[in-house]
Amino acid sequence: MVFENLSNKLQEVFKKLKGKGRLTEEDVNLALREVRIALLEADVNFQVVKDFIAKVKEKAVGHEVLESLTPGQQVIKIVHEELINLMGKTNAKLNDAGSPPTIIMLVGLQGAGKTTTAAKLAYLLKKQGKKPLLVAADVYRPAAIKQLQVLGDSIDVPVFTMGEQSPVDIAKASINFAKSNLKNYVIIDTAGRLHINEELMDELKKIKDVVHPHEILLVVDAMTGQDAVNVAKSFNDELGLTGVILTKLDGDTKGGAALSVKAVTGCPIKFAGMGEKIENLEPFYPDRMASRILGMGDVLTLIEKAKEALDAEKAQKMQEKLKSREFDLEDFLDSMQQIKKMGPLEQLLGMIPGMGKVKDIAGMVDEKELKHIEAIIYSMTPEERRKPEIIDGSRKKRIAKGSGTSIQEVNRLLKQFEQMKKLMKQFGGMEKQLKKGKKIKFPFFS
């Protein structure tokens, strides 16, 4: 889960604060000392941490906070607000050219995932009804042009290429091609290097001078931590970046890059790569990320993913079955197959407050586990699928034998089925509560 170590440490600190009826200035100082250590261990820039702690302390030791009825909650609220400010306050959207095409120039070092990110961004724009054009301007890395062509074909987005000619000439010609073919977005995949050098920067500056991009987005690997921030600063000083795309934010990342890059460079994080698949590029929302770091969940993103991935008609039928208590194991299997479309379940659970209590179901939606679930459910009689409560010891033994699994696996599936029923009941009420402007309650996770 993204920022898992940092998130766990911060939540542990605030758990102690919430457990106290009254807070003293010393209590706040001790808590902020632990917060500082947690941020530094997450590879957040030292000066950023220093400024962050100072701002939080200034607000947290005020009379209104320490004398309030819920001082611990007030301190958490302040930390939440400052985390949002640290990462950019609001979602930074792409600049619009006004008169098409909007030209986006992707820059970065080798290995950051620039070419794949170019295709992901094209896919995202296409889903929004745009007409993107990918431009293969990396003529140095072996097979870079072919890689972009393969990715472009997979999402049905054209790729402009002139082979191994000058990247500056390729970029210039691509704009004329885009105008002639009514493409309203041009995404230029420029060449990277293993490290920043004068030759690389000179070429990028020439491309910038020729095409006058509306966006210069730096693609950096979030797993490189503080190095990503240093790279961002160097590129920004030379080119004047308009934003950053963090890749591999779903990996074992400490979080330092996401929490430092805006403060150090002034450049907003516009997108985050949350997986290897072409659809795993998301707009970056500082407020939602801050909530996830502090264990408050991210219900809005969860609902957006559900709307995009789930079959609305099937989802409605499942809700009706849940209400009438007719939700059975065949519906359960169908729901697992639909949820798989939304992405790794561990990521989804990270968007729900209190997800720690349902980690048992985090590994359910992968190919191997789904096959086990299918085998077990299809080894049951129609009556057993409709009424799981009738499955006793002898039936479990027969089902396990028929599916090539164990009784323990059958028991685990039945437990997961009950958990999923509770989870889906809760999820069904989230959007209604949000629309009414109500605070969402999570009795299942409390």
Which residues does the annotation place in the binding site?
108-115, 189-193, 247-250
From residue 369, alpha-carbon distances to 54, 91, 388 in Å are 48, 36, 20
For the chain, count helices (H), then strands (E): 20, 8
Angle in degrees, CA 57, 58, 59, rounded to 5 = 90
Which residue, among 214, 171, 201, has the nearest Cα to 108 in the 3D structure?
201
Determine the distance from the C-alpha atom of residue 255 to the mean position of all C-alpha atoms in its chain, rounded to a whole number.
Answer: 12
HEC string of 181-227 equals CCCCEEEEEECCCCCCCHHHHHHHHHHHHHHCCCEEEEEEEHHHCHH
Backbone φ, ψ for residue 187 (5° rounding): -115, 110
To 10 degrees, what angle do helices 4-18 and 71-87 make?
150
DSSP assignment of 125-158 equals: HHHTT--EEEEEE--SSTTHHHHHHHHHHHTT--
Which residue, among 276, 278, 260, has the nearest Cα to 268 in the 3D structure?
260
Which residue, among 25, 83, 75, has the nearest Cα to 289 in the 3D structure?
83
Contact 244, 270 (CB under 8 A): yes
- Which value, in Å, is the radius of gyration of the alpha carbons in the chain? 25
Give the residue ranges of the annotated binding site for GTP: 108-115, 189-193, 247-250
